[in-house]
Structure 1
Amino acid sequence: MLKTKLHITPTWLFRNEENDLLDPVIFALLNGVHDTGKLTRAAQKAGISYRHAWNLLTRGELFFGMPMVTMRKGYGTRLSPLGEQLLWSEQRLRARLEPQLDSMASELNHQLQQLLEGAHPVLRLHASHGYAVALLAELPGELDLRYCNPLEALSALNRGDCDLASFHLPASPPLAARVMAAYHDQLAGQNLRVIRFVTRRQGLILRAETRQQVHGLADLTRPGLRFINRDEHSGTRVLFNLLLEAHHIDEAHLTNAAQEEFTHTAVAAYVAAGMADVGFGVEAAAAQFGLEFINLATEHYLLVCHESQLRQHNLCQLMEAMGSDSFLSAVDHLAGYTPDKCGTPCTFDELLKDGIDQS
């Protein structure tokens, strides 16, 4: 078994015409200034000395020709417009690329694992990107986690390209029936089983100043209110479109609805940067960026497999670990997430009768 796993992290490199580079730790420093308002504490959070922090800011001002922070006696240290733009750009970069890079790292770890003598079987999971599913990679055993949309995940499961696929169903029975119908071709006749995992809250993500004019879906049609959408093939987009339909709202009446991001985190980063006024996604993404959240729907995030795979040792190991106290505690610490009979297998019929109606 691999003792060290590979991780891939995106990093900005700023290079000027003289081929000088700006130390990427500047982003950790800017984030610390944003969170604390004090350069001393920001330097501590970034793991550098105060002197090094000061030198970085001085060099950055020379590099860009304008300051990245403003300092006023009695008011502390604040990000300048340049500093804010740099910070939000870096956070949007991470939000956009990290799921793909995590998938690439998982693939590389899987390939390395196969080179080891007596390598343990690797459990392959194709899943929608999310905060709780990322925790599964930290459990015992080898998990090859690839991020993709529900249609891709279920198709891979049916082809035998993965052992598990993620799927999410709204807790509302009418909405759940619509989602089941949307994925009927991928679910029918496959002798599938569901492994219960978590519930999560989905809703509107917005800044505090926007909260005064947005109270629900109907307000999204307000003139000039900029919306950031999820990609059209995501499960979250399917849910959002169903909610619009239930409220008789035409998506064409939403400003900038054609603009899309591919993860909940990217939507929240887009709103936090002021590039949109409101988006739709999970509560955990709003909490990550200190944004407001209006809950609109609760859904079950599930794992799906073929019935025969429930007897696989590595899958049994995963289901047992999902029910452990430490894992349930980790889920509970995610905003908007709740353990949902974690690791318990059932059929779709049993879930629709029990898990949906009682949510």
Structure 2
Amino acid sequence: MKKITVLPTWCFRDDAGNQLDLQLLRLLGAVYRRGKLTQAAEDVGISYRHAWNLLRQGSAFFGVALVEMQRGRGAQLTPLGEKLLWAEQRAVARLGPQLESLGSELNLAIAREQQGQVSVLRLHASHGFAVELLPKHLTALPLDLQYCSPQESLAALNRGSCDVAGFHLPRGAVGERIRATYQGLLKPQEHRVIGFITRTQGLMVAPGNPLCIQGVASLTAEGVRFVNRQASSGTRSLLDCLLSEAEVASVAIRGFEVEEFTHSAVAAYVAAGMADVGFGVQAGAEKFGLDFIPLAVEDYLLACHHHALKEPRLQSFLEVLSGEAFQQAVQALPGYRPSRCGEVMEVESVLDVDSQSE
């Protein structure tokens, strides 16, 4: 079945109606990575001459050079060139989850128009690199994927608004407070838990860790600028627990109120030099060339109604999760590992609660 992907695009237009060739943004990214215009042009798939023309057009459009060429030192972005590059990266990271959800809705509508009534798996979960893999592997099963917080996902499961809901449980003592928040939402007699993945969370810092940040206590150091996740996210809940455990007051952290909505957006914010440190998954840090300080390992789990496990769509879903192809894809993500992936468990074994506590 054909699937549609929704991607964000830019349009730069000046007062005279002139538009910028968006291939320039790809070229700037390649210059940043490679440090040489010849190699950057090869990466983008254009000639060296065309690369020069793009840079000249860009400089004429903005009235400022975007790349500096220095003999013996290759090419490097000017401050405006870097700002353009990171602005695009942040925008893509911010819009990505919403556009993925929109793409999911469009693909579902297309399938219904082409095939009539179709069996759909409705998954509500927080955005993450492993969840992003699911649409690519569930090729035979239409997936209605909506991104939301763990509490919102589990509430949707209880309302009957989704079939599968994602939630996080940090390992160790730091996860006890988060574990308690799920006890009213996960019901041992009604629900079952499906194993999914583990992921490592920690601090994302500039390459070389120039401010010598060691842990959450370093976030209050003079001059350190922090970028946060939104208050409803599972990652924010984990950070709050780590701060409480270390007796670090959030009001003492400069930038604690600055929020981004994905791990990639946090990483892009730090990579752009707008903050010195952010909190998120290792995969996000490595994607943007940042150093990573691991602080916690958490289980990312899925929940469903026990009666749904008999349905073909859930059986197909479990087969994909337990399959070698999906698990190898997870293994390729830095800091991610399959963990009892596709295995069905009792709620009590996960939350360690009395089965009569409903």
Taking structure 1 as the reference length, what is the TM-score of the superposition?
A: 0.94
Cα deviation, residue 99, structure 1: 0.6
Q: Which structure 1 residue ranges, 4+ long, deviate > 3 Å from structure 2?
A: 209-212
Equivalent residue, structure 2, for 1:356: none
Query: Offset of 1:291 from its aligned partner?
Result: 0.3
Matched residue of 2:314: which SS? Answer: helix
Separation in 2, partners of 1:333, 1:231 = 27
Q: Distance in 1 between matches of 2:85 and 2:189?
A: 47
Query: CA-atom RMSD, angstroms?
Result: 1.4
Equivalent positions of 1:314-333 (< 5 A) are: 314-333=313-332
Q: Where in structure 2 are there 5+ consecutive unaligned residues?
A: 353-358
What is the match of residue 157 of structure 2?
Answer: 157
Q: Is the 8 A contact 2:208 2:291 kept in 1?
A: no
**8 Å Cα contact 1:229-1:259 kept in structure 2:** yes
Partners of 1:193 and 1:305 within 8 A in 2: yes
2:249 counterpart of 1:250: yes
Could you list the per-position Cα deviations for residues 117-142 of structure 1 after superposition, in whole angstroms to 9, with x for gaps in the alignment?
Answer: 35531101111000011111111321
Q: Deviations over 1:9-44 (max 9, x none)?
A: 111111011101101111111111111112122122
CA displacement at 1:345 relative to structure 2: 0.7
Cα distance in structure 1, aligned partners of 2:56 and 2:165: 49
Question: Aligned equivalents of 1:164 and 1:54: distance in 2?
Answer: 51
Write the deviation string for residues 315-352 of structure 1: whole angstroms up to 9, x where unpaired: 11111111222211111110000110111110122235
Match of 1:132 in 2: 130
* Contact map agreement 1:230 1:267 (CA 8 A) in 2: yes
Letter in 2 for 1:206: V
Answer yes or no: is the 8 Å Cα contact 1:190–1:306 preserved in 2. no
User: Structure 2: which amino acid aligns with 1:344?
Assistant: E
More moved, 309-318 vs 330-339: 309-318
Distance in 2 (alpha carbons) for counterparts of 1:345 and 1:64: 57
Partner of 2:146: 146
Alignment partners' CA distance in 2, 1:159 and 1:70: 57
Deviations 1:64-95 (A, max 9, x none): 11111011121111111111110000000001
Alignment partners' CA distance in 1, 2:72 and 2:26: 24
* Contact 1:169-1:300 at 8 Å conserved across structures: yes
The code of the aligned residue for 1:40 comes to: T
The Cα shift of 1:47 comes to: 2.6
3-state SS of 2:143 partner: strand
Contact 1:211 1:292 in 2 (8 A): no
| Percent identity between the two aligned chains | 49
Specify the SS of the correspondent of 1:14. coil
- Residue range with higher mean Cα deviation, 234-243 or 139-148: 139-148
Partner Cα distance (2:105, 2:274) in 1: 33
Q: Which of residues 57, 63, 66 in structure 1 aligns to 2:64?
A: 66
Note if 1:107 corresponds to 2:105: yes
Corresponding residue for 2:201?
A: 202
Q: For residue 264 of structure 1, what is the aligned residue in structure 2?
A: 263
Q: Match of 1:168, as an amino acid?
A: H
- Which letter does structure 1 place at the counterpart of 2:293? I
Q: Give, in angstroms, the shift of residue 223 of structure 1.
A: 1.6
Which SS does the other structure have where 1:194 is aligned?
strand
Shift of 1:48: 2.4
How far off is 1:50 after superposition? 2.2
Q: Tell me the distance in 1 between the aligned counterparts of 2:150 and 2:350.
A: 18
- Give the whole-Å Cα distance in 1 for the aligned partners of 2:207 and 2:115: 55
CA distance in 2, matches of 1:175, 1:313: 37
Where does 1:1-359 land on structure 2 (aligned, <5 Å)? 3-117=1-115, 119-139=117-137, 140=139, 141-172=141-172, 174-188=173-187, 191-352=190-351
Contact 2:122 2:164 in 1 (8 A): yes
- Structure 2 distance, partners of 1:55, 1:208, is 32
Long gaps (5+) in structure 1? 354-359
Cα displacement string for residues 251-271 of structure 1 (whole angstroms, at most 9, x for unaligned residues):
011011011111111000000
8 Å CA contact retained: 2:11, 2:20: yes
Using the size of structure 2 for normalisation, the TM-score is 0.94
Deviates more, 1:36-45 or 1:329-338: 36-45
Offset from partner CA, 1:228-278 (integer Å, 9 cap, x none): 010000011011001100111110110110111111110000000000010
Q: How has the CA–CA distance of structure 1 residues 275 and 215 changed in structure 2, closer, same or farther, with 3 Å as cutoff? A: same
Paired residue secondary structure (1:214): coil
SS in 2 for 1:298: strand
Letter in 2 for 1:238: S
